[in-house]
Amino acid sequence: MDGFDANEGIIIVAATNRPDVLDPALLRPGRFDRQIVVGNPDIVGREKILRVHLKKVQLANDVDPRTIARGTPGFSGADLANLVNEAALLAARRNKRVVTMRELEDAKDRVMMGAERKSMVMTEEEKKLTAYHEAGHALVALYSPASDPIHKATIIPRGRALGLVMRLPERDSYSYAREKMLANLAVSAGGRVAEEVVFGHDKVTSGAVSDIEYSTKLARAMVTRWGMSDKLGPMAYAENQEEVFLGHSVSRTQNVSEETAKLIDAEIRELIDYGYTTAKDIIVTHRDQLEAITRALLEYETLTGDEMKGLIGGKAIVREAPAEDASSHSGTKPSGPSVPVTRPRDTASGPSGGVPPEPQPSA
């Protein structure tokens, strides 16, 4: 990149998704002078990207790209293209000539939560335990005002999970408040707490492994990166590191003192205990509603957020008979103003349920 004269007329363009590992020499003046950060699209961008990809498939009249865009915060252009491809494959498997809104919704769930594994054999005891686990997550989320709204809960195995609760943010988020992080800690503890309250201390399972990993990672970030510990203050603390060279010598980097490390561990423990205690208070207080959600999950296997809200309000679940497939209709939805639809969210992964990914601080 050196040695070009100003009159060469050569422009070098490069792209990377790992700017943190670039050689600093590449970024000094005279090399790449202009850096353009391309983030994931917002709701307007997602709608425009969806319209581009949807032109490649035959659509039913009920398809609304705006609705899909509202329910896919955080999706990249590649994710949206994958969603449309999955919807087209689902329509083909169902012997439809057009892609309907049902296929797009099912494809979104498949992309976000993983493919359903209905052939997986689970005993009645395992299914019952999974239902209580997911009901615990859902109940705590419903009683945590700062939590993202619930999109769906299911005990059908998806991906590597035996079941999961998915939450979706109502809008694009670029930073999280302390109250939301505390709510996420409580929701992540809801599954394990439900198991313990219902089956007893000795009957809890390893199904909460992803929840425990997530809450520990989130609590550590709150203390060491985001300055949310009153005792440690707004300071960044890096972990002590050990590097092995050629398998023989070990280089140790001491970033914090032993006393500070102990205080960090104590603060992390306090945050996790807060989430556990909050979840237990909610589940014990509303045990009857936990049972109602669990019974519904065992009967229907998958519940929407609105259905679970109705359950804790004392309403029975009423489902309409599936409408006829729109395979006889073709053509794209006529242009015009989209109807705004409020949709809930947050993602879950890991065995027997999970919680949203770690929030990232704004730059």
Residue 2's pLDDT is 57
What the block records as the tokens of 127 is 């299914």
Residue 332's pLDDT is 41
Residue 358's pLDDT is 45
Catalytic residue among 134, 195, 196, 267: 134
For the chain, the three-class secondary structure string (H helix, E strand, C coil) is CCCCCHHHCCCCCCCCCCHHHCCHHHHCCCCCCCCCCCCCCCHHHHHHHHHHHHCCCCECCCCCHHHHHHCCCCCCHHHHHHHHHHHHHHHHHCCCCCECHHHHHHHHHHHHHCCECCCCCCCHHHHHHHHHHHHHHHHHHHCCCCCCCEEEEECCCECCECCEEEEECCCCCCCCCHHHHHHHHHHHHHHHHHHHHHHCHHHCCHHHHHHHHHHHHHHHHHHHCCCCCCCCCCCCCCCCEEEEECCCEEEEECCCCHHHHHHHHHHHHHHHHHHHHHHHHHHHHCHHHHHHHHHHHHHHCEEEHHHHHHHHCCCCCCCCCCCCCCCCCCCCCCCCCCCCCCCCEECCCCCCCCCCCCCCCCC
Just give the CATH number of 124-346.
1.20.58.760
Class of domain 43-113: mainly alpha
Residue 336's pLDDT is 36
Q: Is 134 a catalytic residue?
A: yes
CATH 1.10.8.60 placement within the chain: 43-113
Residue 250's pLDDT is 55
CATH 1.20.58.760 placement within the chain: 124-346
The string of pLDDT tens digits covering residues 255-303 is: 678 888 899 999 999 999 999 999 999 999 999 999 999 999 999 888 8
Residue 88's pLDDT is 93
Stretches in the chain below the pLDDT threshold 50: 324-363
Whether this prediction's pTM lies above 0.85 is answered by no
